[in-house]
Amino acid sequence: MNIAALRAFLAVAETGSFSRAAERVFLSQPAISKRIAALEAELGTRLFDRIGRRAQLTPAGAALLDRARAILRELDDVKRSIANLSGTIVGELRLATSHHIGLHRLPPALKRFHQTYPEVRLDLRFMDSEKACAAVAQGEIELAIVTLPPAPLPALRVTRIWDDPLEIVVSPAHPLANRAELQAKALLDYPAILPGPGTYTREIILKALGPLRERIQIGMATNYLEVLKMLAAIGLGWSALPRSMIDESLKVVQIKKMVIRRSLGLVTHAGRTLSNAAQAMIAVVQESR
């Protein structure tokens, strides 16, 4: 079975579009269509239904999807193992990070890595931590530097790099701004501005609230911490932000017996060989903390 055709198939399946798949693998759309047609001819069945501009998997395509991913992951693993024998640090490194870490934690390490290993091509992708972890588990990304999942995920290996304490914050004009140390139930009277549902950071914040979590008024949600900061600073509600982001535009609300902290760090696949480039990036990040 042609490996290039499998890569084309996976690109179409994941993007739902022949044109977007062509952009992902740097081919023309006719070239993508030709590879899919050849694969369908080899297997003797249609893999996609073309509905308008969408390409939807047929039952046969859905059956092939996981096996195609497994084949390509295994091939990538073999290539990395062989390339590692040379000891050289070259090639492409597919790296994912969250916007917050990419802006506030990672720049010194990225600069040093680029200066030290100029022959490595960085494919740097910004995405939510949850999506980055899923991409590592599926073999799409080799290394993620993100908020670590609050509960272990069996396919992943995680390494904590930074401790990231969070504080409850409000606008200086908010009714809670000048109150003395409060009980957590005081937060129930005001809307919260939190990360979106399903995010690790949201779960960490709600877990710290204990039995009150179901009674919180959630007024707004966004996955960008910089936007959370802005919304809290203009008085639209209270939020929980990393201590490193807090400035004069916000007031910290001291809540008795409440500790909120998340761990930021490295995520790799537990069963995959790391390239020399990924191992070098990990070393640089660990040295820069």
Q: Which domains, and CATH codes, for the chain?
A: 3-83 (1.10.10.10), 87-162+264-288 (3.40.190.10), 164-262 (3.40.190.10)
Tally the residues of the chain: 289
- pLDDT-above-90 percentage for the chain: 80
Question: Higher-confidence residue: 247 or 53?
Answer: 247
- Statement: residue 152 has pLDDT above 90: no
| Angstrom distance (rounded) from CA 58 to CA 37 | 14
- What pLDDT band is residue 77 in, cutting at 50, 70 and 90? confident
Cβ atoms 179, 241 nearer than 8 A: no
| Angstrom distance (rounded) from CA 241 to CA 250 | 10
- What pLDDT band is residue 72 in, cutting at 50, 70 and 90? confident
Residue-wise pLDDT tens digits, 186-206: 999 999 999 999 999 999 999
Average pLDDT score over residue span 278-285: 96
- Statement: residue 83 has pLDDT above 80: no
- What pLDDT band is residue 84 in, cutting at 50, 70 and 90? confident
pTM, to two decimals: 0.77
| Angstrom distance (rounded) from CA 150 to CA 166 | 15
Q: Which of 19-28, 74-83, 86-95, 135-144 has the lowest mean pLDDT?
A: 74-83
pLDDT at 70: 86
Task: With CA atoms as reference, report the closest residue to 140 among 199, 66, 69, 81.
Answer: 69
pLDDT at 10: 93
Residue appearing with tokens 């993100």: 146
Cβ atoms 237, 192 nearer than 8 A: yes
Cβ atoms 169, 123 nearer than 8 A: no
Phi, psi of 183 (to 5 degrees): -80, 150
Question: Higher-confidence residue: 96 or 89?
Answer: 96
Q: Which helix (H) or strand (E) holds 202?
A: helix 200-208
